[in-house]
Structure 1
Amino acid sequence: MNADAAAETLCALALELGADAVGWADAEVPAAAVDEYAGWLVEGRHARMDYLERQLPRRADLGTSLPGAGRVLVLGISHAYDPPAPPPGGIRLGRVARYAWTPDYHDQLQPVLDRLGREAATLGVRAKGYVDHGPVMERLLGARSFLGWRSKSGMLVSTELGAFFTLAVLLTDLPPAGPSTAHPDRCGRCFRCGQSCPTGAIGPDRKIDARRCLSYLTIEHRGPLPWEHRAALGEWLFGCDICCGVCPWSVKAGTLARLFQPRRELAHPDLSRFFGVSERQFTREWAGSALLRPRRKGMARNALNVLGNLRDPQGWPLLLAGAEDPAWEVREAAAWALAQWNEWAEVERLRSDPEPQVRASAERLLSERA
């Protein structure tokens, strides 16, 4: 079977397995794209994700992941679905990014890539798949495969899928197809994404500053949340969908998801499940969920930030639990949340906390009140 026929076979199988859009891109990464990415790193806009720096040489040369890589199959999988109703009971406050409403997409997509890899082998093609966890510039490849374009938010946007879709790639040793035309930019004069970002994380250069991005802060950031962004986080418990949700192409695309389906407990988690349990218990209870990423103390920290912003009475027991939490990062978040509730006696009590950073935050809150 010749290369083009093999490529068509793999495309057809990917669609059959649940991909909503597929396309091929040559594996060569343009030097300009590498320089731009390196510049973003030099500016520190990747925050504390130091692994991105270490991976740059491999991102620049896909042959380091699959020797002889020539062509890449890019899969787009929609997570645009209607929100499920909250389950009964529990303290279900705050918002979760849509991609996390379904069980971990890495676990769902790896079998798809494995199946494509086995099919490639029968065609005499060597292949290796990644679900956004490998040293691959997925959005660049997505744009070159004509799935969409890099929008002003930095996200890949499709006229068919909008912005709510996940990317997976299958590196192959099929020979390059040759120069292709990139998808035209359909943002026009629209800048709703940047205008809607509460922390100004989206710059005019189509790059995101992770240090200000709500998704990074609630998922990847370790330790206390930056003081200046706590109010802007609003009711976001895990991730953020603002830039994707306001995109006119997302609105036009509507509900499309086929492979991914939401679960009520993931879309509306009970905040009380983040308190009074060990990290091991938390890991067991939320196994197979993206909510594992911030760990138990990260989710408890986020929950307290949400409660501080919303000041919903049903969250009061969790503020008290947070002030007694074994993790100092959670107690620090509780101090801030209690101050938003004007519970100054509780904040005063945290001035005697054994952890210096908790004491310092309590002191700062009390001094600002004065």
Structure 2
Amino acid sequence: MVNAAVESLEARLKGEALRLGFSACGFAPAAGDPVRAARLEQWLGEGHHGTMEWMETRLHHRRGPQSLWPEAQSVIALGMSYAPATDPRALEAHPDRARISVYAQGSDYHDVVKRNLKALARWLVAEEPGAQVKVFVDTAPVMEKPLGQLAGIGWQGKHTNLVSRTHGSWLFLGAIFTTLNLLPDEPHVDRCGSCTACQTACPTQAFPAPYRLDARRCISYLTIEHKGPVPEEFRAALGNRIYGCDDCLAACPWNSFAAVAQANRAFLPRAELTAPRLAELLALDDATFRKVFSGSPIKRIGRDRWVRNCLYAAGNSGDLALVAPVAALLGDPDPAVADAARWAMAALEQHHPQPPPLKRRGL
């Protein structure tokens, strides 16, 4: 057994991260990366961020950790597995049920990951009293995925998400910036090879090229970030996906090595979100929506956007049992919901056209 007195801080830190429920931990320098910053500028210049204006307004902070916090010397990149027990694409065969992205079926990962990041940061400060730390999970202008690759916990795959040899595409990412000079890990090499599974799996062709995502075509963006009516060209492609999309992640062959997440029970799916009936979801008013999705990342999109998405799924279902709940929303006060209801009614009628009236005999 290695004596704690001689074991390196980096090794002890990784051990504590594992104890707290993190599946991956690595270290990277906090210095900026001009190549990464240039790629971000190109992506924004091409408008691929859609209406996510915050990506552009805080570009100067996204250039690198020291652009956000000049005193930072090292980044601790962390990942927490949420690998699902089943293939999330299986619900495609059940159009009367709604598909909710795996990451949103349990507790809000922002809260869970941040809580554990803070616990690890407190441990580090107790070990190194002079250290300063800042924790980040998704809501700050931090480029967690390229930092994760730089810290060796995975690589940014052709679907632009981080891929791990151990956990596949199913990692929630967080970061701790610190003034400590930690020994960096080796950057992870790209292991996508010639595989294009994630590219061809995309229902809306959101990848103009490998390693490049046009968010304006991405179902996750359209169902979560996009306000107002979804462009008609994408509505049929949404299928029964009402919150996010897992197709490019689920298609990755590296997922065959991913064990079902057990470290954090908070990410286990809530039974009512694994295969909910569209008819029940369409009936949610604002108060009920807030109650049902308390503690869930879904709550942030609000009732109107949620019902809008459910209406597109209803139109794609071909299920005549949904005509009544769709019709009830034709006069909804939210314009995007009313527009989606009209589209859904037209789509259902297209699935089941009315037979022509019978001609009277002799005419």
1:116 matched residue in structure 2 = 120
More divergent stretch after superposition (207-216 vs 304-313):
304-313
Is the counterpart of residue 157 in structure 1 residue 163 in structure 2? yes
Structure 1 residue matching 2:158: 3-state secondary structure: coil
Give the Å deviation of 1:119.
Answer: 1.3
* TM-score (norm. length: structure 1): 0.85
> What residue number does 2:178 align with?
172
3-state SS, counterpart of residue 84 of structure 2? coil
2:236 match: secondary structure: coil
Alignment of 1:150-299 (within 5 A): 150-175=156-181, 177=183, 181-259=186-264, 260-272=267-279, 274-275=281-282, 278-299=285-306
- Percent of aligned pairs sharing the same letter: 36
2:104 corresponds to 1:97: no
1:37 Cα offset (Å):
0.4
Which residue does 1:81 correspond to in 2?
Answer: 84
What's the CA shift for 1:101? 1.1
8 Å Cα contact 1:101-1:263 kept in structure 2: yes
Q: Which residue of 2 aligns with 1:72?
A: 75
Aligned mates of 2:114, 2:155 — CA distance in 1: 25
Q: Once the two structures are superposed, what CA deviation does each residue of 1:326-359 show, in whole Å capped at 9, x if it has no partner?
A: 2121110011111111179xxxxxxxxxxxxxxx
Residues 94 and 306 in structure 1, CA contact (< 8 A), matched pair in contact too: yes
Gaps in structure 2 of 5+ consecutive residues: 89-94, 352-363
Q: How many pairs are equivalent?
A: 338
Secondary structure at the counterpart of residue 133 of structure 1: coil
Match of 1:22 in 2: 25
* Secondary structure at 1:195 match in 2: helix
**Post-superposition shift, 1:271?**
3.9
Q: What residue number does 1:52 align with? A: 55
User: Once the 2 structures are TM-superposed, how far is the Cα of residue 232 of structure 1 from its aligned partner?
Assistant: 0.8
Contact 1:193 1:246 in 2 (8 A): yes
Conserved? CA contact 2:81–2:261, under 8 Å? yes
Shift of 1:314: 3.4
User: 2:111 aligns to what?
Assistant: 107
Cα distance change on mapping 1:176 and 1:31 into 2, 3 Å: farther
User: What secondary structure, in the 3-state scheme, does the structure 1 residue paired with 2:192 have?
Assistant: coil
- For residues 61 and 158 of structure 1, what CA distance do their matches in structure 2 show? 22
Counterpart Cα distance in 1 of 2:326 and 2:81 = 36
Unaligned runs of 5+ in 1: 86-90, 345-370
1:13 equivalenced with 2:16 (yes/no):
yes
Relative to the length of structure 2, the TM-score reads 0.87
Question: Could you tell me whether the CA contact under 8 Å between 2:24 and 2:153 is conserved in 1?
Answer: yes
- Matches of 1:149 and 1:50 in 2, distance apart? 26
Query: Which amino acid is 1:253 matched to?
Result: A
> Which amino acid in structure 1 is aligned with residue 167 of structure 2?
L
- 1:277 deviates by 5.1
Q: CA offsets per residue over residues 153-191 of structure 1, 9 Å max, x none?
A: 11111111100111111111112536x642121111110
Q: Equivalent residue for 2:36?
A: 33
After superposition, the Cα gap between the structure-2 partners of 1:283 and 1:32, relative to the gap in structure 1 and judged at 3 Å, is same
Establish whether residue 305 from structure 1 lines up as the match of residue 312 from structure 2: yes
Aligned AA (1:186): R
- The one of 141, 146, 151 equivalent to 2:147 is 141
Contact 1:276 1:325 in 2 (8 A): no
- Structure-1 separation of matches of 2:163 and 2:328: 42
> Does the 8 A contact of 1:245 with 1:251 survive in 2?
no
Aligned equivalents of 1:117, 1:15: Cα separation in 2 = 14
**Structure 2 contact 155–190 (Cα < 8 Å) conserved:** yes
Q: Could you tell me how far 1:80 is from its partner in structure 2?
A: 0.8
Higher deviation after alignment, 297-306 or 108-117? 108-117
SS in 2 for 1:184: coil
Counterparts of 2:282 and 2:251, CA distance in 1: 33
Distance 1:285 1:238, change over 3 A: same
Q: Is the 8 A contact 1:224 1:333 kept in 2?
A: yes
Deviation at 1:282, TM superposition (A): 2.3
Shift of the 280–64 alpha-carbon distance from structure 1 to 2, 3 Å rule, reads farther
Deviation at 1:23, TM superposition (A): 0.9
Contact map agreement 2:24 2:78 (CA 8 A) in 1: yes
SS of 2:238's partner is: coil
Which residue identity does 1:21 align to in structure 2? Answer: A
Conserved in 2, the CA contact under 8 Å of 1:98 and 1:241?
yes
Amino acid of the structure 2 residue aligned with 1:310: S
Moved more, 280-289 or 329-338: 280-289
One-letter code aligned to 1:316 = V
**Cα drift, residue 284 of structure 1:** 3.2
Q: Aligned-pair distance for 1:251?
A: 2.8
Listed one character per residue, the Cα deviations across residues 297-348 of structure 1 (whole Å, up to 9, x for unaligned) are 111010010011112233223211221322121110011111111179xxxx
Deviation string, structure 1 residues 33-66 (Cα, Å, up to 9, x no partner): 0010011000000000000011211111423543
The 10-residue stretch of structure 1 (181-190 or 57-66) with the greater mean CA deviation from structure 2: 57-66
Is the Cα contact below 8 Å between 1:84 and 1:267 reproduced in 2?
no
| Contact 1:220–1:293 under 8 Å retained in 2 | no
